[in-house]
Amino acid sequence: MTDTVRLGIIGFGTQGSMYAQFITDGLVPNMVIGAIADIAPEAADAACSLYPAVPVYADYLELLESGEVDAIVTTVPHFLHPQMGIDALSRGIHALVEKPAGVYTQQVAELNAFAATHPELSFGIMFNQRNNPLYVRLKEIVDNGEIGAIRRSNWIITNWWRPQGYYDQSAWRATWGGEGGGVLVNQAPHQLDLWQWICGVPEKVFAKVAYGFRRNIAVEDEVTALVDYGNGVTGVFVTATHDLVGTDRFEILGDQGKIVVEGSKTATVTRLKRPERELSESMDMSDVMKLFMGQLDATELYTTEVIEFDSAWGAQHAGVLENFAANILDGTPLLAPGSDGITGVRLANAIHLSSWTGAEVSLDFDEADFLAGLNDRIRSEKLFPERA
């Protein structure tokens, strides 16, 4: 046993080079760069220049066969994550996949099933927001029942503004065949994961989605989704890439309190002294008038706490890398098990499918229906091969 993990970075673009820098800067003390792979000559040349002592490969399979790595991270286009994860695990190499775990549930389910046959290997996903101390604390509050049973949740996350030039920079970006979708698969997977991580997985979704609404692209740049958890519990998710000012506001209403998060930085937690229905039934109209006129002592009804954490840039990603290495070295539980990646992909698929059919869609939808709809759109682009 050693005290470090040799990481193979597959894809030396923005994310891959950032992870290499984190390791070089000592932010991931239990990890070293074992090798780098990138099919693009310019990226491979950049890796050679920055890390002359690190082996660099044009083919990721050569990296997997090199004996230079104990684990890999897949910082490549979304469609490639599942197969690369399987290829690594089949060679006894631990796998950390980037978000999203894939584009459609069928391929992610294959990855999860294969990983389950190798429990001796670590399989994680880069859900770095699960390492955000604010959301860790909010999950504790919800799980502990401090705001009671959830009745409704809403997340408006529109601070993903992207100009047309962002989409024009590469041929695969914002295409069905190259990227697999727009804001749901590129910018918003972390929020789709956190929403379900904290509030639970919904049963059904009805969505209104705009494709190429404010940008010259084929995929979605605005989404409004209404989800149904059963028993009258609902949620709303709104996201877009054309709001220059942008909003990030997450609300969770419970029957004994409420959480309001602004900017993913500050949370206001209100805890009722008694369940809301009990308060309602105990008040007569004179109490209601006093409440409306500000004459009722609010501290008799609820307490308010403001929670705010400082989080250095890069600390969340580096923390996931460190945790992944620790899981390999000593069995430390994973912050984000790789098998969890299918949850966000399933919800994104259901949102797309609902918008394509104009109907409410169950979260246990027929995977073949979604893949058929995706391939219809890939064929219409005439840019990339269909997916199997």
Residue keyed to tokens 């919904």 = 202
Check residue 292 and give its pLDDT: 85
DSSP state of 274: S
Per-position DSSP letters for 131-149, written without gaps between them:
G-HHHHHHHHHHHTTTT-S
Between CA 161 and CA 257 the distance in angstroms is: 32
Between CA 188 and CA 345 the distance in angstroms is: 11
Check residue 148 and give its pLDDT: 98
Q: Residue 317 is inside which H or E element, if any? A: helix 315-330
Per-position DSSP letters for 42-62, written without gaps between them:
HHHHHHHHH-TTS-EESSHHH
| Phi, psi of 340, rounded to the nearest 5 degrees | -70, -15
Count the neighbouring beta carbons within 10 Å of the beta carbon of residue 96. Answer: 28
Between CA 19 and CA 9 the distance in angstroms is: 8
User: Among candidates 289, 297, 253, which has minimal Cα distance to 271?
Assistant: 253
Q: What amino acid is encoded at 252 in this protein? A: I
Between CA 55 and CA 36 the distance in angstroms is: 6
What is the separation, in whole angstroms, between the first and last Cα of the chain? 40
Beta pairing class for 123-125 and 94-97:
parallel
Contact between 13 and 43 (Cβ < 8 Å): yes
Series of mean pLDDT values for 10-residue runs along the chain (388 residues): 91 96 97 98 97 98 98 96 98 98 97 98 97 96 98 98 95 94 97 98 98 97 98 98 98 98 96 94 87 84 94 87 98 97 98 98 97 97 94
User: Among candidates 269, 284, 341, which has minimal Cα distance to 74?
Assistant: 341
Between CA 84 and CA 274 the distance in angstroms is: 51
Check residue 295 and give its pLDDT: 82
Q: Which domains does the chain have, with CATH numbers?
A: 5-127+314-338 (3.40.50.720), 130-309+344-381 (3.30.360.10)
Check residue 75 and give its pLDDT: 97
How many angstroms from the chain centroid is the CA of residue 142?
19
Check residue 201 and give its pLDDT: 98
Check residue 44 and give its pLDDT: 97
